[in-house]
Amino acid sequence: MKQMLEYVHGDSVIHRLNPLVKLLWAFLTCIACFISSNHLFLLGVLLSTVVVAASGSVLARAKGVYKALFILGFLLMLFQLLFTPYGRVYFYILPGVPVTDQGLSFSLLLMLRMMAALSPLSLMLMLTPMNELLTAMTHTLRIPYRYAFVVVTALRFIPTFSREMDQIMQAQRSRGHETDTRNPFKKVKVILPMCIPLLISSVRRIETMAISLETRGFNTGPRSCRKKLGFTRFDALAIIIVMAVLLLSIIIG
Amino acid sequence: MIRFNNVSFAYEGSEELAVRNINLHIDKGEFVGIIGPSGAGKSTLVSLINGVIPHFHRGDYYGEVLVCGKDTLESTCGEISRHVGSVFQDPEAQMVTTVVEDEIAFGLENFNVPAGEIEKRITESLKMVGIEHLRHRGTAALSGGQKQRVTIAAAIALRPEILVLDEPTSELDPQGSRQVFQTLKRLNQEYGMTILIVEQKVMLLSEFCSRLMVMEKGQIILDGPVRQVLEHHDKLLELGINCPRVVTLTKLLKDASLYDGDIPVDVDEAEQVVRKILEGAYDQHTAFDLSLR
């Protein structure tokens, strides 16, 4: 989880794009994936995200994202497959539960959509420095700094919390608490009580953070920003491509 | 630089005073170490200087604290932070951003420092703590000592006259702790920064600080140059503060009336003391031998 949202430092064309362009890409791609119900289109979009990941040289990191999305999509696909009774029946998986051609096609679409729509969001975060995102949100989108800061800080705390959770799990495991189980219901039952120590330590950390903010002049007045966000022809090109994809999704349907 | 006039404070909801009748004066350029058992009021003292008390933690506040001539009660936490840089125990929690250079830029941006100046200050403060090579690194992948030095760099980028640190090495290994102290010493000597550090590692304090304060039950019970404070060996031991071994050794030598000079604060000095005594003993011994003959 922590690796899916963390920025990876680099100096690729993608890294240098204006953060707003990347934000636009993530959102419009997502929308395009929901507009279109064409398998090939979605597959194309998915492949294009792989190209983006590769050119930002975060492919190794992105693999985890694709894997997680695949598992999620696969579960979704199974459900969809079992609960679509219409269309030509291929075979019965259980008495009265048919697997049909429409079911297969639709569930496959769902999985592709899921993967193609969500991976850009994760890639965007991997390829955009937080502070640029923050600058883009406050200076260009005019979101008040306080609110933009909340969003960015929430993302920043994910690795911290995940490390903390690991620690708590290990502490429990070392005292003989069984945490490894394949049964998802049992897993929830096992993990739920551990959320309390996580919550407590988080609150404590957040207090330290608040003090740290206070002692470093947070919200004392107008803020300057270190980086001027440029707009290059690559940004223009990227916007054109994104728009074209959106248009294509509408045309293809 | 820092002046406490009869300061007492009790946290909200607590009857007991966390610090009590503190009178204190710290001059520019001092390197002050604060030590004492937990609950002695060390952190409270630090919070009173950087304005976290009374602006963040509330409670009953008596007396006045003057930092750079201004009453902390009358300025905001933000204003105080222009003069006082703060570093806390948990480096992970006090980091706001995910990249080293952003972390340092954060405070500067808050104070509306222009972009060109920010770049200059980032370079400067990274150099001051000796971590220029970490500039573009993500903060999550740094070691404890590196993280803590990033937080120090972030604090000094604002060019504070005073730096207060509340147990900054508690989560570090011996090498990391030493690195932090060496960094502080450089800041103190080369840039004349006034430094106040709460710390449990007495050995490091006695080696690097110029002045030592010992706190107990909300009061400063010992205060003075390091050597002078270390003379109170028994009192320190009573508080559970393990004196450096060289001090313990000197104490034993003094008890046996073999030595009555200044307390050595590091191993080299102690070695000299012991050598001298041994030479003296040898001379006495030979003299004794000779007189027998």
Residue A223 in any domain: the answer is no
CA distance A178 to A187: 10
Name chain B contacts of A228, Cβ cutoff 8 Å.
Answer: 115
Q: Are residues A39 and A106 both part of a single domain? A: yes
Which of A9, A153, A216 is nearest residue B110 as measured by Cβ atoms? Answer: A216
Mean pLDDT of B208-223: 94
A18-70 per-position pLDDT tens digit:
999 999 999 999 999 999 999 999 999 999 999 999 998 888 888 988 999 99
Per-residue confidence band for B83, with pLDDT thresholds at 50, 70 and 90:
very high
The closest of B34, B270, B285 to B166, measured between CA atoms, is B34
CA distance B15 to B37: 20
Q: Are residues A150 and A106 both part of a single domain? A: no
- Mutation to test the A interface, candidates B50, B58, B95, B98, most A Cβ within 10 Å: B98
Which of B93, B106, B140 is nearest residue A208 as measured by Cβ atoms? Answer: B93
B148-199 per-position pLDDT tens digit:
999 999 999 998 999 999 999 887 888 888 888 998 999 999 889 999 999 9
Q: What is the DSSP string of B66-116?
A: EETTEETTTS-HHHHTTTEEEE-S-HHHH--SSBHHHHHHHHHHHTT--HH
Which of B94, B102, B137 is nearest residue A131 as measured by Cβ atoms? Answer: B102
Mean predicted lDDT score pLDDT of chain A: 87
Write out the H or E segment, with its range, that includes residue A98.
Answer: strand A97-100
Q: Are residues A145 and A71 both part of a single domain? A: no
- Which tokens belong to A222? 């107008």
Nearest-Cα distance to chain A for B197, in Å, is 16
Q: Are residues A13 and A64 both part of a single domain? A: yes
Q: Are residues A112 and A25 both part of a single domain? A: yes
The number of helix segments (H) and strand segments (E) in chain B equals 13, 10
Coil/strand/helix, residue B24? strand
Interhelix angle B144-156/B100-110, rounded to 10 degrees, is 20
Block residue for tokens 């404890």 = B144
Question: Before A85, cis peptide (omega within 30)?
Answer: no
Mean pLDDT of A172-184: 80
Residue A133 in any domain: the answer is no
- Which tokens belong to B258? 């073999």
**pTM > 0.80:** no
Coil/strand/helix, residue A89? strand
State residue A82's pLDDT score: 82
Q: State whether B96 and A213 contact (CB < 8 Å).
A: yes
Q: State whether B90 and A208 contact (CB < 8 Å).
A: yes
- Mutation to test the A interface, candidates B79, B80, B106, most A Cβ within 10 Å: B106
Name chain B contacts of A129, Cβ cutoff 8 Å.
Answer: 99, 102
State residue B289's pLDDT score: 56
Q: Are residues A208 and A241 both part of a single domain? A: no
Q: Which residues contact B3 (CB under 8 A, 6 or more apart)?
A: B24, B25, B26, B65, B66
Per-residue confidence band for A1, with pLDDT thresholds at 50, 70 and 90:
low
Which of A209, A218, A227 is nearest residue B110 as measured by Cβ atoms? Answer: A218
Q: Are residues A43 and A65 both part of a single domain? A: yes
Q: Which residues of A touch B (CB under 8 A)?
A: 6-7, 9, 129-131, 153, 156, 159-160, 204-206, 208-228
Q: State whether B112 and A211 contact (CB < 8 Å).
A: no
Coil/strand/helix, residue B129? coil
Q: What is the DSSP string of B172-217?
A: S-HHHHHHHHHHHHHHHHHH--EEEEE-S-HHHHHHH-SEEEEEET
Nearest-Cα distance to chain A for B16, in Å, is 22
Residue A93 in any domain: the answer is yes
State residue B258's pLDDT score: 80
Name chain A contacts of B90, Cβ cutoff 8 Å.
Answer: 205, 208
The closest of B45, B58, B56 to B10, measured between CA atoms, is B58
Which of A130, A210, A216 is nearest residue B98 as measured by Cβ atoms? Answer: A130
Nearest-Cα distance to chain A for B182, in Å, is 23
Which of B99, B118, B137 is nearest residue A129 as measured by Cβ atoms? Answer: B99
Nearest-Cα distance to chain B for A204, in Å, is 9
- Mutation to test the B interface, candidates A1, A3, A9, A212, most B Cβ within 10 Å: A212
Q: State whether A225 and B112 contact (CB < 8 Å).
A: no
Q: Are residues A57 and A97 both part of a single domain? A: yes
Mean pLDDT of B211-230: 93
CA distance A130 to B107: 16
Q: Which residues contact A178 (CB under 8 A, 6 or more apart)?
A: A190
Q: State whether B110 and A156 contact (CB < 8 Å).
A: no
Q: How many domains does chain A have?
A: 2
- Mutation to test the B interface, candidates A146, A216, A220, most B Cβ within 10 Å: A216
- What value, to the nearest 5°, has the Cα angle with vertex A88 and ends A82 and A91? 55
Q: Are strands B19-26 and B70-71 parallel, antiparallel or unpaired?
A: unpaired
Q: Are residues A183 and A244 both part of a single domain? A: no
Name chain A contacts of B113, Cβ cutoff 8 Å.
Answer: 224
Q: Are residues A203 and A248 both part of a single domain? A: no
- Which tokens belong to B210? 């110029």
A82-125 per-position pLDDT tens digit:
887 788 888 887 777 888 888 888 899 999 999 999 999 999 98
CA distance A246 to A241: 9
A205-250 per-position pLDDT tens digit:
888 899 999 899 888 888 888 877 888 899 999 999 999 999 999 9
Fold of B2-229: Rossmann fold (3.40.50)
Nearest-Cα distance to chain B for A211, in Å, is 7
Tell me whether residue A33 is exposed, middle or buried, using C-beta atoms within 10 angstroms of its C-beta: 0 to 12, 13 to 18, 19 or more: buried
Which of A129, A208, A216 is nearest residue B106 as measured by Cβ atoms? Answer: A216
Domain with A200, as residue range(s), is: 138-214
- What value, to the nearest 5°, has the Cα angle with vertex A138 and ends A137 and A141? 55
CATH 3.40.50.300 maps onto chain B at 2-229
Which of A159, A208, A223 is nearest residue B110 as measured by Cβ atoms? Answer: A223
State residue A176's pLDDT score: 83
Report the complex ipTM: 0.80
Which of A9, A156, A214 is nearest residue B97 as measured by Cβ atoms? Answer: A156
B27 phi, psi to nearest 5 deg: -85, 165
Name chain B contacts of A226, Cβ cutoff 8 Å.
Answer: 102, 105, 108-109, 115, 118-119
Residue B264: CB atoms within 10 A of its CB come to: 22
- Which tokens belong to A103? 């079911």
Q: State whether B99 and A7 contact (CB < 8 Å).
A: yes
Report the C-alpha dihedral over residues A198, A201, A204, A209, rounded to 10 degrees: -80
Q: Are residues A22 and A89 both part of a single domain? A: yes
Q: Are residues A19 and A115 both part of a single domain? A: yes
String of b and e for A17-30 (b: at least 16 CB within 10 Å)? bbbbbbbbbbebbb
Q: State whether B155 and A216 contact (CB < 8 Å).
A: yes
Residue A220 in any domain: the answer is no
